[in-house]
C-alpha cells in the first residue's frame, strides 16, 4: 500500500524553503563567506539554541535562543560601530548550517525537524531581505532612536509571518481549521514570541555598539527563560499523566472498558479543536473527558460495559454530580468539575465542552457495541438524537473529524 501523498500546500511551503536555502548556499560557495568571525559567533549561538530545543512544544517556538540569535544576525547592521556587509544570502546560509548542525541529535532521536527548519529559513530570510540590502547601502545611517523602532517593526512582521507559516503547516498536516490554529499561534507569539523578538532586537543593537561580546551577555536571560519554560512544560506533562492515571481508576475497578477514557479524551479534543476552542479550553475539555466516568465508582453494581449513555437521566445526573465532587477534590481547574457535573443536563443548557464529551462518549459506546460498520451506525443514532439529546453542531463536527481520520464518512444531512 503506497504512502499518502502530502498536501499540495505543504509541498509548496517546503519547496520554497528548499529553493531559498539552496540558492543561498550556492551564493556563499560562489562568493565566499564575509566577516567569518561574526558568522562563526552567531552560528555557534544558533547551534546552541537548536541543541537545547525541546520536543513536545506543540508547534510553538521550541528553540527561542536559536530564533533570537538568527533574527539578530538577520538584523545586524553594525559590529562594534563598524558597518557589516554580510548580506541576506549569507544570513540564510549561516542560519541554515547552524540549525542543521544543532538538529542532528533531534534527527538521531527520530524527532521531526522539517517543518521547524522550513519556518526558520523562511522567516529569517524574510527579515534579512527586508533589512540587509538597505542597511548595506547606508540607508539607516543617522536614524537614531527610529532605528530601534525599525528593528521592532521588522521583527513584528516576521513574527506574524512565522505564525502564518506555523498555522498553515499545522493545517495541511492535520486538516484542522486554519482560523483557530492561527489564533493560537498569535497568542503564543505574545508570550515567548515577544521575548524572542525583543531579545533579537536588543542583541542586534548591542552588537552594533560593543561588538560580539554582547552575544553571551544578552543570550543568558533568554536561555534561563527557555529552561524555565521547559521545566513548566515538564510539570504540565506530569500533571496530565496524573489526571490520566486517576481516570484509569474506573477501568482498574472494572467499571469501564480499558482505554475508554483515553479514547473519549482524544476524540473530544479533536472535535473541540474543529469547533475552534482555544488551547486553554481544549485542556479543560481533555481533562473533563478523561474523568467523565469517575462518578461510576459510587455505584454498587457496575453498569454493563460502563455504558452510561443508556442509563435513566436521574442516574446519569447522580453519576455526573458525584464525579464533579471527586474532580473538585483533586485540585484540578474548577471548570473541569463544572463540565463533568453538567454532562447529564439537558443539551441546550450545557456548556459546549459538556456537549462535546456527552456526544463523543455516546458515540464511543455505540460504535463499540455496533459491530461491523459501527462508526456509521453510531453516527446515525447520534443524528437521530440531535433533536434534544445531542448537539447537532457537535455531531456534525464529530462526523468531520472521523472522516478526516478515515474512521467514517460524513452522512448526508
* Torsion (CA) 90, 93, 99, 103 in degrees, nearest 10: -160
Q: Is 335 exposed, middle or buried (0-12, 13-18, 19+ CB in 10 A)?
A: middle
**Backbone phi, then psi, for 344, in 5-degree steps?**
-100, 5
Q: What is the rounded distance in angstroms from the CA atom of residue 189 to the CA atom of residue 177?
A: 19
Decide: helix, strand or coil at residue 79.
strand
Q: Which ranges of 75-141 would DSSP assign to H, the alpha helix? A: 87-108, 114-136
Nearest to 126 by CA among 19, 20, 41: 20
Residues 6+ apart with CB under 8 A from 165: 13, 118, 119, 122, 123
Q: What is the rounded distance in angstroms from the CA atom of residue 75 to the CA atom of residue 143?
A: 15
DSSP H or E segment with residue 78: strand 78-79
pLDDT at position 25, please?
Answer: 93
Q: How far is CA 89 from the centre of its chain?
A: 30
Decide: helix, strand or coil at residue 251.
helix
Q: What is the rounded distance in angstroms from the CA atom of residue 165 to the CA atom of residue 20?
A: 15
Nearest to 253 by CA among 196, 314, 222, 298: 298
pLDDT at position 39, please?
Answer: 93
DSSP count for the chain of H helices, then E strands: 17, 2
Please report how the helices 8-31 and 87-108 are oriented relative to each other, as an axis angle in degrees rounded to 10. Answer: 120
Beta bridge partners of 82: 79
Nearest to 129 by CA among 96, 77, 87: 87
Q: Are 17 and 121 in contact (CB under 8 A)?
A: yes
pLDDT at position 389, please?
Answer: 79
What are the distances in angstroms from CA 126 to CA 130, 212, 296? 6, 23, 56
Query: Would you give per-residue pLDDT tens digits along the chain (413 residues)?
Result: 344 456 788 889 999 999 999 999 999 999 889 889 999 999 999 998 888 876 544 445 567 888 999 999 999 988 888 888 899 999 999 999 999 999 999 888 888 889 989 999 999 999 999 999 988 888 888 787 888 888 889 999 999 999 999 999 988 888 888 888 888 888 888 877 888 888 888 899 899 888 888 888 888 877 777 777 777 777 777 777 888 887 788 788 777 788 888 899 999 999 998 888 888 899 899 999 988 888 887 766 666 665 666 677 787 888 888 888 888 887 778 888 899 888 888 888 889 999 999 989 888 888 776 566 667 777 777 777 665 778 888 988 888 888 876 655 443 33
DSSP class of 83: E
Q: Is 330 exposed, middle or buried (0-12, 13-18, 19+ CB in 10 A)?
A: middle
Decide: helix, strand or coil at residue 209.
helix
Q: What is the rounded distance in angstroms from the CA atom of residue 408 to the CA atom of residue 377?
A: 10
| Phi-psi domain of 108 (left: phi exceeds 0; alpha: psi -120 through 50; beta: other) | alpha
| Phi-psi domain of 58 (left: phi exceeds 0; alpha: psi -120 through 50; beta: other) | left
Amino acid at each position: 500500500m503506497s504512502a499518502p501523498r502530502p498536501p499540495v500546500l505543504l509541498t509548496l511551503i517546503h519547496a520554497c524553503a528548499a529553493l531559498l536555502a539552496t540558492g543561498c548556499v550556492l551564493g556563499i560557495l560562489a562568493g565566499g563567506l564575509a566577516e567569518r568571525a561574526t558568522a562563526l559567533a552567531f552560528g555557534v549561538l544558533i547551534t546552541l539554541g537548536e541543541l537545547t530545543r525541546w520536543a513536545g512544544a506543540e508547534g510553538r517556538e521550541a528553540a527561542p535562543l536559536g530564533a533570537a540569535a538568527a533574527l539578530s544576525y538577520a538584523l545586524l547592521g553594525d559590529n562594534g560601530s563598524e558597518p557589516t556587509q554580510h548580506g541576506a544570502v549569507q544570513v540564510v546560509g549561516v542560519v541554515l548550517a547552524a540549525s542543521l548542525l544543532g538538529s542532528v541529535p533531534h534527527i538521531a532521536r527520530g524527532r521531526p525537524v522539517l517543518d521547524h527548519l522550513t519556518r526558520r529559513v523562511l522567516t529569517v530570510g524574510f527579515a534579512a531581505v527586508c533589512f540587509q540590502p538597505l542597511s548595506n547601502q547606508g540607508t539607516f545611517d543617522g536614524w537614531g532612536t527610529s532605528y530601534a523602532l525599525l528593528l521592532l517593526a521588522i521583527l513584528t512582521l516576521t513574527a506574524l509571518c512565522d505564525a502564518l507559516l506555523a498555522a498553515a503547516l499545522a493545517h495541511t498536516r492535520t486538516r484542522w481549521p486554519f482560523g483557530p490554529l492561527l489564533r493560537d499561534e498569535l497568542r503564543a507569539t505574545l508570550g515567548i514570541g515577544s521575548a524572542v523578538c525583543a531579545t533579537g532586537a536588543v542583541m542586534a543593537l548591542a552588537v552594533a555598539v560593543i561588538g560580539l561580546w554582547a552575544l553571551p551577555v544578552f543570550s543568558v536571560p533568554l536561555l534561563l527563560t527557555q529552561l524555565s519554560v521547559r521545566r513548566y512544560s515538564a510539570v504540565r506533562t506530569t500533571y496530565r499523566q496524573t489526571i490520566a492515571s486517576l481516570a484509569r481508576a474506573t477501568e482498574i475497578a472494572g467499571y469501564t472498558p480499558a482505554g475508554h477514557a483515553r479514547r473519549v479524551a482524544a476524540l473530544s479534543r479533536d472535535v473541540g479543536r474543529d469547533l475552534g476552542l482555544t488551547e486553554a479550553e481544549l485542556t479543560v475539555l481533555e481533562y473533563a473527558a478523561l474523568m467523565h466516568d469517575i462518578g461510576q465508582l459510587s455505584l454498587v453494581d457496575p453498569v454493563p460495559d460502563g455504558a452510561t449513555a443508556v442509563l435513566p437521566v436521574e442516574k446519569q445526573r447522580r453519576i455526573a454530580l458525584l464525579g464533579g465532587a471527586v474532580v473538585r477534590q483533586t485540585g484540578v481547574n474548577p471548570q473541569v468539575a463544572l463540565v463533568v457535573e453538567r454532562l447529564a443536563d439537558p443539551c441546550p443548557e450545557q456548556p459546549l465542552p459538556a456537549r462535546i464529551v456527552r456526544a463523543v462518549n455516546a458515540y464511543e459506546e455505540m460504535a463499540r457495541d455496533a459491530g461491523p460498520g459501527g462508526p456509521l451506525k453510531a453516527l446515525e443514532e447520534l443524528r437521530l438524537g440531535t433533536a434534544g439529546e445531542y448537539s447537532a453542531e457537535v455531531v456534525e463536527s464529530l462526523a468531520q473529524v472521523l472522516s478526516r481520520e478515515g474512521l467514517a464518512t460524513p452522512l448526508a444531512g
